[in-house]
């Protein structure tokens, strides 16, 4: 296991290495493997990118995000303008089915609602609006239509986990009730945990995932 100082240095280097973040004013504190980010970023997309960067670093146990979104000097973005930009972004995204998303904007916070057939469509809708100027956060309440039995869903998940070179499938327990999935067991890193979630969400019929996996390097 790395010391907190070693982990802090690795996180700082990962942030500096990321082309989206290299010029951001982000401070890093580490205590007992828990990383806390403070400082300012110009948009919500970079806030998410900072979190993802930390989770790529080996031996990170948890992440606390205390970053503030500060628009460039003199810039003000009203909710109406954000809503118009978000609707256009969704309209031009080929992965998001037309008329499948309803959104509202309140104080810069975007809420997405609606129903789609696949998780990648749900993720694409959020990704389309996350980087827009003035967005302070995104609540994705979109739902996925259930369509397959629990047995078929679980079988598909287990096969997907076993195929992945980056996942130790034998340390993971999967339970399924309809399309609602619960993951238990252990993984070696945040990266592996993320790979497990991606594999599960890519399985047809999955509508919800509760991740109870523990990280044990």
Q: What is the pLDDT of residues 190-210, one digit of tens each?
A: 888 989 998 888 888 888 899
**If pLDDT is split at 50, 70 and 90, which confidence band does 93 have?**
very high
Q: Tell me how far the alpha carbon of residue 6 is from its chain's centroid.
A: 25
Residue 148 has a pLDDT of 67
**Cα–Cα distance measured from residue 158 to residue 172, given in angstroms and rounded to the nearest whole number:** 9
Q: What is the pTM of this model?
A: 0.69
Long-range contacts of 113-117 (CB under 8 A, 24+ apart): 113/141, 113/142, 114/142, 114/143, 115/142, 115/143, 115/144, 115/145, 116/142, 116/143, 116/144, 116/145, 117/144, 117/145, 117/147
From the CA atom positions of the chain, what is the Rg in Å? 19
Domains of the chain: 4-69 (3.30.1340.30), 79-144 (3.30.1340.30), 150-215 (3.30.1340.30)
Element (H, E) at 175: strand 172-177
Beta strand 101-106 pairing with 109-116: antiparallel
Kindly give, in sequence order, each residue whose CB lies less than 8 Å from that of residue 43, ignoring residues fewer than 6 positions away.
69, 71, 131, 132, 133, 134, 135
Q: Tell me how far the alpha carbon of residue 160 is from its chain's centroid.
A: 20
Q: Per-residue pLDDT averaged across 137-142, rounded?
A: 95
**If pLDDT is split at 50, 70 and 90, which confidence band does 11 have?**
very high
**Cα–Cα distance measured from residue 14 to residue 56, given in angstroms and rounded to the nearest whole number:** 8
Element (H, E) at 172: strand 172-177
Residue 204 has a pLDDT of 80
Q: Per-residue pLDDT averaged across 161-171, rounded?
A: 86
**Cα–Cα distance measured from residue 62 to residue 54, given in angstroms and rounded to the nearest whole number:** 9
Q: Is the pLDDT of residue 103 over 90?
A: yes
Q: Is the pLDDT of residue 55 over 80?
A: yes
Q: Per-residue pLDDT averaged across 156-171, rounded?
A: 86
How much is the mean pLDDT over the chain? 89
C-alpha distances out from residue 195 to 69, 160, 169, 189, 208, Å: 28, 11, 11, 10, 16
Using a pLDDT cut of 70, give the percent of the chain over it.
97
- For residues 186 and 72, the model is more confident at 186
Residue 147 has a pLDDT of 66
């Amino acid at each position: 296991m790395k010391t907190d100082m070693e982990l802090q240095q690795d996180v700082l280097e990962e942030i500096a290495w990321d082309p989206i973040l290299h010029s951001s004013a982000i401070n890093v504190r580490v205590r007992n493997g828990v990383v806390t980010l403070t400082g300012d970023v110009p948009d919500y997309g970079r806030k998410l990118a900072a979190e993802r960067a930390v989770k790529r670093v080996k031996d990170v146990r948890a992440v606390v995000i205390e970053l503030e979104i500060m628009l460039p000097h003199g810039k003000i973005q009203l909710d109406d303008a954000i809503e118009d930009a978000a609707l256009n972004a969704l309209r031009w995204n080929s992965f998001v089915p037309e008329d499948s998303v309803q959104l509202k904007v309140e104080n810069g916070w975007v809420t997405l609602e609606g129903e789609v057939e696949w998780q990648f469509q749900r993720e694409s809708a959020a990704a389309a609006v996350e980087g827009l100027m003035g967005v302070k956060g995104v609540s994705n309440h979109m739902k996925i239509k259930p369509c397959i039995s629990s047995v078929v869903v679980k079988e598909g998940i287990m096969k997907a986990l076993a195929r992945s070179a980056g996942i130790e499938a034998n340390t993971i327990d999967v339970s399924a009730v309809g399309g609602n999935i619960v993951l238990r067991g252990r993984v070696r890193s945040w990266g592996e945990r993320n790979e497990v979630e991606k594999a599960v969400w890519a399985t047809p019929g999955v509508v919800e995932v509760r991740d109870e996996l523990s990280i044990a390097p």
